[in-house]
Amino acid sequence: MLTDLTGDFSSYGIQAAIGTKLAVKEINAAGGINGKQIELIQYDTQTDNTIYQEMARKVCLEDKVDLVLAGISSASREAIRPIFEENETLYFYNQEYEGGVASHYVFCCGPIPEMQIDPTVDHLMKNVCPAGAKVYIIAADYNFGQISSQWAKKAVERNGGSVIKTEFIPLGVSQFSSTIANINAAKPDMIISFCTGAAHMSFYEQWSNSKFADIPIVTTCALAINGEHKLFAPPAMANVYVGAPYYEEVATPAAKKFTATLKAENPSVKYIGWDAETTYTSLYLYKAAVEKAGTTEVEAVIAALESGVSFDGPGGMAVINGKDHHTIRDIAVGKVEKDHTLKVIATFKGVKSSFIESLGVDLAKEGKKAANMQYTPE
């Protein structure tokens, strides 16, 4: 496991680490995988892509691991993905991201905009916003925010609305007065936010103090990851919506058990978000594939994953889609109330991405001949 235990994205990396460790503990206690115990090798990549690349080569060439769980930001993923492809190493990227990665060696187990933005925007534009809604997008100024905003535009236009402006915010920015002034001047019916990282979270508090109207905000990067609705005083996050397979407030028996276990084992972690769940789920998907293949040999495991292995866990049923190497997941859409409770208001079952398949890409058929690239809506 390569993840950011320190640095700007450490809050995400710590969540990923605790989810992974719980899965390893449970699987080993139940007899392991094909009778073998999992050995977890973990390195702190310190939110530094140079360290990511160094550690990626180490796990491939020195540690000779069977599986790598790695990366928080999309920039970190793209820094190391070629290394795993070159060394024919199986790589699970479990973070929520902008979508479009199609690689023989990479499986993406986290939610993507087609799975998060589409259901949430569809729900709001049919039930909350006026017809022909005007939407303002703010996004982190790197590939995650840039590509995710393209998906958001498609979702808005599909519902008969329009994007009046897309504003990109450099990572590390924590002052949003000019952005808020721009939004107030534009008078949108909805904001879609792809702000990410600790500094960007200050947008919500500043917006709450300066907004012209109580308009809904759709996000993929707050609430369900670090529980910002519990960090900020009400009503900073009121009327913010999020869609994800799992967050603390999802009340299924499996989700409640998962939350309680992780909180008991990690008292310093105040909120259990989907980064913990997706890494946890990914290891169980790997277990199912290895047991089906009867070996940890990479090509055999990839073939087993592509056959559509599944795991019914804290975030509901997760199924690998062999054609695009992403997961099919249940999505719970939640809304933050004025008192900062996060309530699930709609659940969409078996949500899948279709973009990569729509391009005629079928990774299960292409095998090692796959182009190993990232496609974008534009």
Report the SS3 class of residue 75.
Answer: helix
Instruction: Tell me the average pLDDT across 291-314.
Output: 98
Per-residue DSSP letter, 198: T
Residue 45 — pLDDT band, cuts 50, 70, 90? very high
Distance separating alpha carbons of residues 330 and 348, to the nearest angstrom: 6
Instruction: Tell me the average pLDDT across 352-373.
Output: 95
Residue 216: is the preceding peptide bond cis (ω within 30°)? no
Percent share of the chain, pLDDT over 70 = 100
Contact status, residue 305 vs residue 51, Cβ threshold 8 Å: no
Neighbours of 119 (CB within 10 A): 19
Instruction: Tell me the average pLDDT across 153-174.
Output: 95
pLDDT at 214: 87
Report the SS3 class of residue 71.
Answer: coil
Per-residue pLDDT at 190 exceeds 90? yes
Residue 303 — pLDDT band, cuts 50, 70, 90? very high
In the chain, the N- to C-terminal Cα span, in Å, equals: 32
Per residue in 56-108, pLDDT tens? 999 999 999 999 999 999 999 999 999 999 999 999 999 989 999 999 999 99
Distance separating alpha carbons of residues 175 and 212, to the nearest angstrom: 18
Kindly tell me the sign of the dihedral angle through the C-alpha atoms of 301, 304, 306, 311.
negative
Instruction: Tell me the average pLDDT across 192-216.
Output: 89
Q: What is the overall mean pLDDT for the chain?
A: 95
Residue 375 — pLDDT band, cuts 50, 70, 90? very high
Amino acid at 149: S
Report the SS3 class of residue 342.
Answer: strand
Q: Which residue has the higher pLDDT, 376 or 192?
A: 192
Per-residue pLDDT at 345 exceeds 90? yes
pLDDT at 8: 87
Per-residue pLDDT at 378 exceeds 80? no
By CB neighbour count within 10 A (0-12 exposed, 13-18 middle, 19+ buried), where does 48 fall? middle
Distance separating alpha carbons of residues 236 and 313, to the nearest angstrom: 32
Neighbours of 57 (CB within 10 A): 15
Amino acid at 371: A
